[in-house]
Structure formats: structure tokens, C-alpha cells
Structure 1
Amino acid sequence: MAGAATEFAVAPAPIWRLLWLWVPLLGIAVLIVSTTLQHEQRTPMELGYTVPFLLLLMGVLSWAFFRRRIQLQHGELVVTSTFYRRRAAVSSLQLDKARIVDLAEHTEFKPGLKINGYGMPGFQSGHYRMGDRRKAFCLITDASRVLYLPLRDDSVLLLSPEQPRALLDALNAQATR
């Protein structure tokens, strides 16, 4: 079935990583409430706008954290991660150079500078620059098993599928068709 979409599970990211988001936002909310109530020039009405906005922001960023998908469909690898989506034709992948790596051991594959991304310790999503200045699109939830996929345009996909070997085998099978 060349046209059927195949989905590959993304390696799970522990929910406690959201504390990197929730704790600072709750700290900001507490700071805003305490300073608003201490100053006579500010009104409690300001809290009616600010606190719900922070709660909405927390909700949207939490929703985005769970928005992760890797699909192989119609000869394309489609990666959806937080606010980002990247499509790459299987024919544009250099599968002979693809590897499954542990980023702790192979630091040359680690994403470096965040260009347009969403990240916290142990979770990286979006557009980054590698140490050698190449562009990388990342969906990293488990740095110990990352599928490194170089593209012919000299950019890179860094993905954390639950079973990286299965995805690589499916990509190779698709490429030989």
C-alpha cells in the first residue's frame, strides 16, 4: 500500500518535564498577584486580565507539549511537533547516512542554537542549528535513542520514535519501491 499512512509512536516524554513550564508561570502569577495587591495605583481588575491570560498560556503550551506525531504517507515523512510540522520526501533523505544515536555519546549530533523552537531539558521541538551550522528539525523526547536523518539539502531531521529501527526500516523499504 504505497498510499496508506503509517504512524510511528513517538518515544514518551515524562509529564514531569512540564514542571519546567508550570513552575515559572505559576511563580509569575504569584508575583503579579502579590505586587498588584500591594500597590494602591493598581487595581484588582488587572488580575482579571493577567491571571486568566497566564492560565490560558499555560494550557496552550501544555497542549503543544503533547502534540507529537511521526507519519509515513504518500512517499513523505511527516513530523508534527508542538507548533511545528516538517515534511520530507523519502527520496530527499540520505538513508545510507542515517543512524540511531545516543546524544550523550555522540555530541556532534546534538542540536545547538534554537532558531524557532520549543524546548526544555529533555525535550526539543522545532528548528535548531547543529554545531556545524547545519539546519535541524527536531522532535527529541528521548536523547538516548535519536534517529539522525540527513537530507540532500544538507539539513537534518533528529527524531525520537519509540522504535527508531522500525521507522528506519520502513523508510528504507519505501525508498526501494
Structure 2
Amino acid sequence: MSTAAQRTASSNPALQVAKPTSSLLFWLWGPMLLVMSIDPLIRLFAGKLPFTASFNSWGGWLVLPLVGAALTLAYRRRELRLDARQLTIASTLYTRRVPLSSMRLDRARIVNFAENPDFKPGMKSNGFQFPGFRAGHFHMKDGGKGFCLITDDSRVLVIPLRDGNSLLISPQQPRALLDELKRLADGSRRA
């Protein structure tokens, strides 16, 4: 498929992912900085040097920021792409390509987790999560599985799939994306 035929967020506002709150990275960096500072502070209060020449002393100050930087870069990867046959959801370390024919768009709905907590994903099976952000594979409360890219709990497009699983995504304009998916699915049925 040519790149001109693919729709991305830059050419279609319905494919823009809702912006998460900026404080979300605090949940990644805050605990990491706390863990990094515990040992040096204990050593300092004990009257010792906060660092010694051994890797055990300063290694965390090298390794944890690298891990944090890698996780921050992964967190920033959020994209929806749509072509005539499939929706591609890319987030953090995960990419899922879902054919339009496998979606049950007649049962899709836009939910707010505060009002509809039954749709909220349960335990993470293979994903990336901190408050207000979920990406990857999760168990659903109804016993099924869900692939998530959730950046805003107040506007989540829930799309049931024919295999019993679900897609949960937070586009900037969920109604516009659902309408576009229905339009493409109707067009492919007619062809």
C-alpha cells in the first residue's frame, strides 16, 4: 500500500492520540529519583562519603537514568494509522495491526471510565502502565483481553473484536475516528 493511501495523524485529526497530562512522567521519574537518592543519603547521614569508587556505589546513578530515558522515549511513542483495510496502533514497545473486518463497529462505544468502570482494563498481562496511561495487553473485567492505548480515561473508544477481545484507544476525537472506521468498513463491504 502506498504511503499516500495511508492516513496518519498529520493528515487526519481523527487519528491524533489524546494528549496525556504532563505530570504522568512524574510517576516514572519520581520513584526512580527517590530510589537513587536513598543509599547516598543513608551513607551521608552515617558520616560516610555518599559515593565510593566501586560500581555498587555509583552504578545506579548511571544505569537508572538510562533506563528512565529509554522508558520516557517509549512512553512518547503513540500513534494511530489507518488505511483502507486496517487500523494500526503503535504505543511504547507495542504495535497492533487490526483488520477492519475483525472489528464489531456496531458495538463500539465511547466511554468515560469514571461513569462506566466496567470497561476499565484490569490486570496488565504485557504492557506499560502508570496512572492515567496504559499501553499494551490487559485483561478485561469481562474475562476477555484488551489491547490498550489509553491516555485519557474520560474519552476511550472501546471496539469489540470478533474474537472476543477488545481495542481501547484514546483518540483526540473518538467520534470522528469511529465514524471514519465505519465509513471505511462500509466501503470495503461494498467493494
Please, what TM-score do these two structures have when normalized by structure 2? 0.85
- Could you say which residue in structure 2 is the equivalent of 1:124? 134
Query: How far did residue 35 of structure 1 move?
Result: 5.0
Q: How does 1:44-123 map to 2 (within 5 A)?
A: 44-46=53-55, 47-123=57-133
Q: What is the identity, as a one-letter code, of the residue corresponding to 2:32?
A: L
Cα distance in structure 2, aligned partners of 1:44 and 1:13: 41
Cα distance in structure 1, aligned partners of 2:68 and 2:53: 21
Deviation by residue 1:66-107 (Cα, 9 ceiling, x = unmatched): 110011124111001111111100000000000011111111
Aligned partner of residue 60 in structure 2, secondary structure? helix
Cα distance in structure 1, aligned partners of 2:32 and 2:18: 26
- Could you say which residue in structure 1 is the equivalent of 2:5? 4
**Which stretches of structure 1, 4 residues or longer, exceed 6 Å deviation after superposition?**
none
Q: Percent identity?
A: 44
- Could you say which residue in structure 1 is the equivalent of 2:35? 28
Query: How far did residue 33 of structure 1 move?
Result: 3.0
Cα distance in structure 2, aligned partners of 1:12 and 1:56: 25
State which structure, 1 or 2, has the greater radius of gyration over its C-alpha atoms: 2
Q: What is the identity, as a one-letter code, of the residue corresponding to 1:107?
A: P
Find out whether 1:148 has 2:153 as its counterpart. Answer: no
- Could you say which residue in structure 2 is the equivalent of 1:175? 185
Cα distance in structure 1, aligned partners of 2:53 and 2:138: 41
Does the aligned pair in 1 maintain the 2:84–2:184 contact within 8 Å?
no
Which runs of 5 or more structure 1 residues have no equivalent in the other structure?
none
Does the aligned pair in 2 maintain the 1:75–1:90 contact within 8 Å?
yes
What's the C-alpha RMSD, in Å, of the aligned pairs? 2.0
Count of residue pairs the alignment pairs up: 176
Does the aligned pair in 2 maintain the 1:36–1:43 contact within 8 Å?
no
Bigger shift: residues 96-105 or 24-33: 24-33
Cα distance in structure 2, aligned partners of 1:106 and 1:141: 16
Q: What is the identity, as a one-letter code, of the residue corresponding to 1:5?
A: Q
Which runs of 5 or more structure 2 residues have no equivalent in the other structure?
9-14
Does the aligned pair in 2 maintain the 1:98–1:150 contact within 8 Å?
yes
- Could you say which residue in structure 1 is the equivalent of 2:12? none
Does the aligned pair in 2 maintain the 1:82–1:118 contact within 8 Å?
yes
Q: What is the identity, as a one-letter code, of the residue corresponding to 1:21?
A: L
